[in-house]
Chains A and B, each alone.
Chain A
C-alpha cells in the first residue's frame, strides 16, 4: 500500500485551496494539494465579474465601508448567514485584494477625471478623484449599495488564480494533479487524510495528514443546466457526507444565475448588467423595472432569476427551437466598452452562439450557478464534529452566504477563507498534541474498501448504465428542484432520486478497466452525486418556507418564526437512501442586523418572536455610539477575537485614514 505523508492535505487546487496551502506553508508546515486537473484550470478560473471588497476608491464607491458590505451580504443571504462570519469576511476582504495586488494581480485601476457610464439605461458622467488615480477600481454588481466589485477587465478569476497558483509554485507547494480523493480516512471522531485515486493510472493510495482541508468547489453538475465546469460534481461534499459524522449545511440553498447563455448554460457575467446592460422580453420591453422598481436588473440573483422565469410563464419569453428565453441587451454599452471590459463576453457570444453582442441581443435564461451549502465548519473553518477536518471556499459552509450569495462575494470568500483557515490550520498543526499516531490498520481498511468498491463495478455483474442514471438525475434536479419549488415536485424528486440511488448500486461497466477509464469515473461519482442531489431535494422538501434562493410556491413567505435555522444533513449508514436532517437555530438576540426586509423582492415575511426586542436593543446601541462606527459595531456584535491576530485591524481608505 502506497502512503504519502504530509502535514496539511489540501483537497482542491482552486483559489481557496491554493491560498490556504500558502498560508500553512508560510507558517512552516508542509502542505500538499490534490486536484482533479492542473490547479489553474480549476473553476475559479471562470469568474469573470469580480471580487467584492469595500475599498471605496471609485466615486460611486465613496462612503463604502465594511459596515455597508456587511449589511448587503446579510440582506443578500436573507438572514441565513452567520453574521459573525460575515463580519470576519468583510474586514478581511480589503486585505485580500491588497495582498493579491502585491502578488501581481493586474487589477483594473481608476483613471482620474470624467468618464461616461450607463446607469439605469442612461448615459451619466462620473468624475473620479485625483487621489484615486491608479488605485484599484470597483464596478457595480447586483445586491450592493455601493460600487464595490474589484475586477481585472473581465478575467478576474483567471488573473487571480494565475497569480495565486504561481505563488504556490514560488513557495514550492506540490500539486498532485489528476488525483481524486475518494473518501476521508477517519475513525468517527478524527480525520487522518484521504484515499486517493490517480486518474491516469487508476492506482489507489493513501494520503495521511495531521490536518485535511476540503476545498473542492461547487456541485453544480448535479443539475442539467449549469454554469459550472464539468468537474464541479460535488465529490468533496460527498466524501465529507459519507463519513457519517461531518454534516453538510443548507444544501437546499442553490443559486441560479440570471444570465446563462441559452441553451448551453455558459455564463455571461453579472458585469453585463452592472455596467448597464438590460433584460428585455419578446416584445423588446425592459421588464425588470415593472417588478423591481428599486434595484431593477440589479436586484439580487435569486430575485432577478425568479422574475425572469415569472415573466416567461406569463408568455413573454422569446420562443426558440430549444425552448423559451429572455434577451440580455448590452448593445447600448458600445463597441469600445464591450471590446475592452467585456471581451470574454464577446468571445463567448461569438464562439458559442454566433452572436455579436455589440449589435445583437444575447439569449439568456437562468441556470444553476452556485452551491451555498457545504461542509459545515465553525468560524475558524474546522469541522465541529470531525477533528482534523477543515473546509474553505465554495465547498464549505462556515456560513457567510446563507440562502443566497452576492455576486463578487465568492471569489472574495475563497481568498479570505484561505487566509483565515490557513492560519487556523497552522495553529492546529503547531500543537504537538494534534500530531496523529497513524492507525495503519485503519488506513489499510479504508484503502481496501475503496478498491473493493471499484472492483465491484467491473466484476459485480451489475447491469445499470452509469451515464443514463446521471442524466436522469440531472434532468430531475433541473425540472423539479429548480427556481420555483413545490411540495409535490420535491416529493416526486426525492422519491425518484432514491430509486436512482438504489439502481446506482448495481452499475456495470461496458469497458471494465480499472486504469484510466472515464466510464468508471462516472460510475463511482454518480453514486456520490446522488447523495448530494438527495441532500438538496430532501432539504428543500422539508423546508416549508421561502428564503433567498430557496423559493417554495406553496410557502412563498420567509418564516423566521419556524425556519430561522440552518439545515444539517448527515448520511448515517451506507444502506440509507436519505440523509438524516437536523437543524441548528440562528440566534436573533446576538445579531448585529436583526431580520427585516431585504430592500428588494417580497416584503412579506413572518417575524421571529425575538426580533422586535432585538431590534429595539440594536437601535439603542446605534443611537448611543452614533459618532464612532467601530465602537458601535463592537457593542452590537464583537467578532474580532474570532480572526487570527495577523488579520485583525482597520482598513485604510482615501476617506478614512488612521
Chain B
C-alpha cells in the first residue's frame, strides 16, 4: 500500500472557530499542531485534535468514507469532503473553514441538512406517479438498462453542499436552488416513472432562482466530489426550459 516518505511532517491546522450560540463569541482562527501519520485524512487529524487537544472543536463526520456528504468544508479555500482528503496531498499549513452560505452551527459544522430538506420540498424531488398504483405481487415494470444507468448516474449526488458553497449565484440569491437542485430536476425529468411534464418542471425551475439564475461559470462542476456531470445537465435543462418558456 501507499506509504509516504514524509510521514513525520508537523502539520499546522488553522481552523476557523466561532460558536454563534455564545453571545460573546467572535470568529477567530485557532491553530493546532500535530504530527502527520501515514495515510492520515482530515477525519483522522481532526478526530485526534478533538481527542487530545481540544474537545470542544465542532465538525461533522458520519461515514468517514466519502459517501454520506456530511463533512463538506473549505479546505485551503476550496470546498471539499474532509474525510477523503489525505493530508499528504496538502501543504503542512492547512486552513479549514465552514462552508459559506449555509447556516453555521459552530466552528466547521454547518446545517446543510436543513437547506437540502427545504430544497427537496420546494422542487418536489420525488417520483410523481400521478396516482398510478403498483401491484407489488406482480412482476415489476421493465426499464431500459441503459436508461436505468443514466438515472443512477444523476442519482449519485450526496447533498454535501460543495456546489452551492462555490456558486456565485447562490451568494447573491438566497433562494437559488443550486446545482444540486438543478441536477435533481434533470434526474427526475429523465426518469420515465416520473410523470411530470416540462410544463411542471418549468413551474419549479423556470425562473431566476432556478435554471435561469445560473451564470454557467461552472465552479460547481469543478468541486463536485462525486464528479456529477453538472455542466451538461444544467445546460441541457436550460435548453429544455427555454423551449418550454417560449411555448408559453
In the complex, per-residue mask of B72-106: 1 if CB is within 8 Å of any chain A CB, else 0? 00000000000010100000000000000000011
Is A351 touching B66 in the complex (CB atoms < 8 A)?
A: yes
Is A229 touching B117 in the complex (CB atoms < 8 A)?
A: no
Q: B85-134: which have CB < 8 Å to A?
A: 86, 105-106, 111-114, 116-117, 120-121, 124-127, 129, 134
Q: Does A266 interact with chain B (Cβ within 8 Å)?
A: yes
Q: Given A108-B152, A109-B143, A652-B139, are A169 and B125 neighbors across the interface (CB < 8 Å)?
A: yes
Is B136 touching A175 in the complex (CB atoms < 8 A)?
A: no
Is B136 touching A98 in the complex (CB atoms < 8 A)?
A: yes
Q: Does A488 interact with chain B (Cβ within 8 Å)?
A: no
Is B142 touching A109 in the complex (CB atoms < 8 A)?
A: yes
Partner of B151, one of A97, A106, A654: A106
Is A134 touching B152 in the complex (CB atoms < 8 A)?
A: no
Residues on A with beta carbons closer than 8 Å to the beta carbon of B106? 200, 516
Measured between C-beta atoms, what is the minimum distance from B239 to chain A in Å? 23
Q: Given A98-B134, A134-B142, A518-B50, are A166 and B125 neighbors across the interface (CB < 8 Å)?
A: yes
C-alpha gap A401/B111 in the complex (Å): 37
Residue of A nearest to B7 (CB): A321
Residues on A with beta carbons closer than 8 Å to the beta carbon of B144? 109, 134
Q: Does A451 interact with chain B (Cβ within 8 Å)?
A: no
Residue of A nearest to B105 (CB): A200
Partner of B69, one of A41, A266, A467, A515: A41
Residues on A with beta carbons closer than 8 Å to the beta carbon of B199? none
Q: Does B67 interact with chain A (Cβ within 8 Å)?
A: yes
Residues on A with beta carbons closer than 8 Å to the beta carbon of B38? 321
Is A108 touching B145 in the complex (CB atoms < 8 A)?
A: yes
Is B55 touching A509 in the complex (CB atoms < 8 A)?
A: yes
Q: Does A355 interact with chain B (Cβ within 8 Å)?
A: yes
Is A158 touching B149 in the complex (CB atoms < 8 A)?
A: no
Residue of A nearest to B2 (CB): A354
Q: Given A162-B155, A467-B51, are A229 and B68 neighbors across the interface (CB < 8 Å)?
A: yes
Q: Does B19 interact with chain A (Cβ within 8 Å)?
A: yes
Measured between C-beta atoms, what is the minimum distance from B134 to chain A in Å? 4
C-alpha gap A97/B138 in the complex (Å): 11
Q: B172-197: which have CB < 8 Å to A?
A: 188, 191, 193-194
Is A652 touching B84 in the complex (CB atoms < 8 A)?
A: no
Measured between C-beta atoms, what is the minimum distance from A112 to chain B in Å? 9
C-alpha gap A129/B112 in the complex (Å): 45
Residues on B with beta carbons closer than 8 Å to the beta carbon of A363? 1
C-alpha gap A180/B117 in the complex (Å): 19
C-alpha gap A38/B68 in the complex (Å): 10
Residues on B with beta carbons closer than 8 Å to the beta carbon of A601? none
Is A344 touching B67 in the complex (CB atoms < 8 A)?
A: yes
In the complex, per-residue mask of A240-280: 1 if CB is within 8 Å of any chain B CB, else 0? 00000000000000000000001110110000000000000
Q: Given A41-B113, A106-B151, are A135 and B138 neighbors across the interface (CB < 8 Å)?
A: no
Q: Given A177-B114, A352-B39, A651-B137, are A518 and B67 neighbors across the interface (CB < 8 Å)?
A: no
Residues on B with beta carbons closer than 8 Å to the beta carbon of A111? 145
Is A104 touching B126 in the complex (CB atoms < 8 A)?
A: yes
Is A518 touching B56 in the complex (CB atoms < 8 A)?
A: yes
Is A353 touching B1 in the complex (CB atoms < 8 A)?
A: yes
Residues on A with beta carbons closer than 8 Å to the beta carbon of B24? none
Question: Residue among A55, A102, A170 with the most chain B CB within 10 A?
Answer: A102
In the complex, per-residue mask of B1-39: 1 if CB is within 8 Å of any chain A CB, else 0? 111000000000000000101100000000000000011
Residues on B with beta carbons closer than 8 Å to the beta carbon of A653? 139
- Would you list 25 pairs from A and B whose C-beta atoms are within 8 A, ordered by A residue? A38-B117, A41-B62, A41-B69, A43-B62, A45-B67, A94-B136, A95-B136, A95-B137, A97-B140, A104-B126, A104-B127, A107-B148, A109-B145, A134-B143, A155-B152, A158-B158, A159-B155, A163-B127, A200-B106, A347-B66, A351-B84, A351-B86, A467-B51, A651-B137, A652-B138
14 extra A-B contacts, CB within 8 A, seeds A40-B158, A111-B145: A95-B136, A97-B140, A102-B140, A102-B141, A110-B145, A152-B155, A166-B120, A340-B149, A347-B84, A348-B66, A351-B86, A354-B2, A515-B21, A518-B56
Chain A residues engaging chain B, CB cutoff 8 angstroms:
37-38, 40-41, 43, 45-46, 55, 94-95, 97-99, 101-104, 106-111, 133-137, 152-153, 155, 158-159, 162-163, 166-167, 169-170, 175, 177-178, 200-201, 229-231, 262-264, 266-267, 320-321, 340, 344, 347-348, 351-355, 363, 467, 471, 509-511, 513, 515-519, 522, 649-654
Chain B residues engaging chain A, CB cutoff 8 angstroms:
1-3, 19, 21-22, 38-39, 41, 50-51, 54-58, 60-70, 84, 86, 105-106, 111-114, 116-117, 120-121, 124-127, 129, 134, 136-145, 148-149, 151-152, 155-156, 158-159, 188, 191, 193-194
**Closest CB pairs A-B (n = 5):** A134-B142, A38-B113, A354-B2, A519-B55, A104-B127
